[in-house]
Amino acid sequence: MKETVVWCLLALSLPLPVCAQSSNRSPMVDGDCAEYSELLAEEEKLPFGVRLYFFQNREYVWLCYSLPNGSRGIMDLYIEAPGLPEPLNLHSSAQLGEWNPSDSSGVPREPTSPLWWQVQGWWATTSRFNGYRGPASDRRARLLPSPAREAQFRKERFGRGEWRLRLEISGVATPSGKFETLVFPSGTDGRKLFRFHAS
């Protein structure tokens, strides 16, 4: 993350330093949305207290969403963008993947599929691995809940202009103790998309 640079001009004739501030900050993709408010990012309020943020600079777009305690927050982002020849589904769970949502042959079918990690021009935080659980004969990965999920997209690949997005967040913990799936924009038909302008 680039820090804000502050220059101070000390003048003997002035009672306090005169400071000129120049901000060249951008988010760090670390699964923490706290900095987005300071950056005056675009914000959307979703159910269950989830907050969704968008921020961009000349080269990149960032997306971050906060999650209730105990959430998994798996991301599936449907995107249509000027730089893409066809729509894509960008997926972040314990692994990253991307595929054409209308072509099931590109969807990884098992955890060891070589189709995982074949991503270009974007990156996202994944589930946090924390060792194994269970007996040696049936060891399973232990994944910690996610306080937030974050992604970064390179405009060189996705293009500038209107991006049309539909975000599905699964594994959102609710006060009742159940896990829900949030869709933004809301609606179950899958045709309602969010228009984001990448300048």
- Token representation of residue 163: 């991006």
Provide CATH code, domain 27-198. Answer: 2.60.40
DSSP state of 106: G
The pLDDT of residue 178 is above 60: yes
Measured torsion, CA atoms of residues 121, 127, 130, 136, in degrees rounded to the nearest 10:
-100
Most confident among 16-20, 165-169, 173-177 (mean pLDDT): 165-169
- The predicted pLDDT at position 8 comes to 31
Q: Which of 30, 54, 67, 69 minimizes the C-alpha distance to 153?
A: 54
- The predicted pLDDT at position 10 comes to 32
The pLDDT of residue 55 is above 60: yes
Render pLDDT for 132-169 as a digit per residue (tens, 0 to 9). 888 877 878 777 778 999 999 999 999 999 999 999 99
Alpha-carbon distance of 64 to 36, in angstroms, equals 8
Mean pLDDT of the 32-41 span:
93
Alpha-carbon distance of 6 to 107, in angstroms, equals 48
Q: What are the sequence ranges of the domains in the chain?
A: 27-198
